[in-house]
Amino acid sequence: MISNMKNKADISTMGTPSTRINEKKTLAEKADKFRCYQKSVQSPDHEVEFFEQAFRDIYQRKPYSLREDFCGTFAVCCKWVKSDSERTALGVDLCSETLEWGRANNLVKLSEAQKKRVRLLKQDVRKKNRPQVDVLAAQNFSFWIFKTRSEVIEYFKMARANIKADGIMVMDMMGGGDCQIEGHVDKRVVKKGKRGFRYYWKQDSYNPINHDASFSISFKFKDGSRINRAFEYHWRFWSIAEVREMLAEAGFKESYVYWETEDEDGEDTGKFERRDLVPSAPCWISYIVAVR
């Protein structure tokens, strides 16, 4: 999800333009922020695997059609059609820049037959389209751009209308006290070596009264140059309980929470299981799966 971001990047370098005329470009100046985003944030293989798991858990069969709301560069759509020759994907986003980047960098990697099974729409996700799909995904906390209950319920009603009678909606959630600490930064190395870089997720602000929150993503490279605030997000921090209540109000039959499992050493496994009771954690990621 890149559609609800504020697309302003500050590339930090050393020296003024006049003193750097004959210097080589910094790694930040040569970097592609969308490519950095995909490498840092997205895991299309995992998403496709989880969508199938969640659908099978409910209907005991394989899903074939996907709608990716707030699709951004629609990497998940591309992975979906590559995973099965009968699968189709619809990507919906309002941002022309991200859709065009996806066409030039993701869609181009598909075979001609696969490209024909990907449809892209530049439009508001709160519109009804045909055909309806097996799985509708709203990933990367994208629907948090809607800050009131009425806005979220309106979106959920339209999402439900875009799903088949025996379909599901999938969205990810985050939470825990650490996710609400202003100034907290999560940083990690993305791919070591000359082409490696550091990814920084910063929690810029959080208002406990109305749950308004702002976050940003920055990238730092081997030569010390940076793309500061490459992506910005201004969201309402919703809870799992609130989202499940709004899904019910929008007409969904039921919803389930999938929680990440841990190994014997207490490390996250990257696998998710349906749970009704979990221990408190300072920071967590989960999925909500809603049944139409």
Distance CA 202, CA 2 (A): 16
Question: Among 77-81, 189-193, 255-259, where is mean pLDDT lowest?
Answer: 189-193
pLDDT tens digits, residue range 98-141?
A: 999 999 999 999 999 999 999 999 999 999 999 999 999 999 99
Please identify which residue in the block is written with the tokens 């950095």. Answer: 36
Mean pLDDT across 264-286: 87
Average pLDDT over residues 227-239: 96
pLDDT band at 262 (very low <50, low <70, confident <90, very high): confident
Tell me the fold of 40-175+238-291.
Rossmann fold (3.40.50)
Q: What angle do CA 12, 15, 17 make, to 5 degrees?
A: 95
% of the chain beyond a pLDDT of 70: 92
pLDDT band for position 64 (50/70/90)? very high
Distance CA 86, CA 41 (A): 27
Q: Does residue 252 register a pLDDT over 80?
A: yes
pLDDT for the residue numbered 150:
97
Residue in this structure with the two tokens 């003024």, named with its chain if needed: 16
Residue 186 scores a pLDDT above 80: yes
The predicted structure's pLDDT at residue 14: 41
Predicted confidence band at 6 (pLDDT cuts at 50, 70, 90)? very low
Q: Give just the sign of the alpha carbon dihedral 199, 205, 210, 212.
A: negative
Reading the block at residue 16, the tokens are: 């003024």
List the chain domain ranges: 40-175+238-291
User: Beta-carbon neighbour count of residue 94 at 10 Å?
Assistant: 14
Judge whether residue 2 has pLDDT over 70. Answer: no
Residue with tokens 């490498």: 39
Phi and psi of 255, rounded to 5°?
Answer: -140, 155
Q: What is the pLDDT of residues 68-82, one digit of tens each?
A: 999 999 999 999 999
Q: Are 204 and 215 in contact (CB under 8 A)?
A: yes
Q: Which tens digit of pLDDT belongs to each residue from 211-223?
A: 999 999 999 999 9
- Which residues are registered as beta bridge partners of 97? none
Q: Would you state the pLDDT for residue 264?
A: 74
> Residues 72, 130, 84, 288: is their CA dihedral positive or negative?
positive
Per-residue exposure over 46-79, b if at least 16 CB sit within 10 Å of its own CB, e if not: ebbbbbbbbbeeeeeeebebbbbbbbbbbbbbbb
Which helix (H) or strand (E) element contains residue 260? Answer: strand 254-262
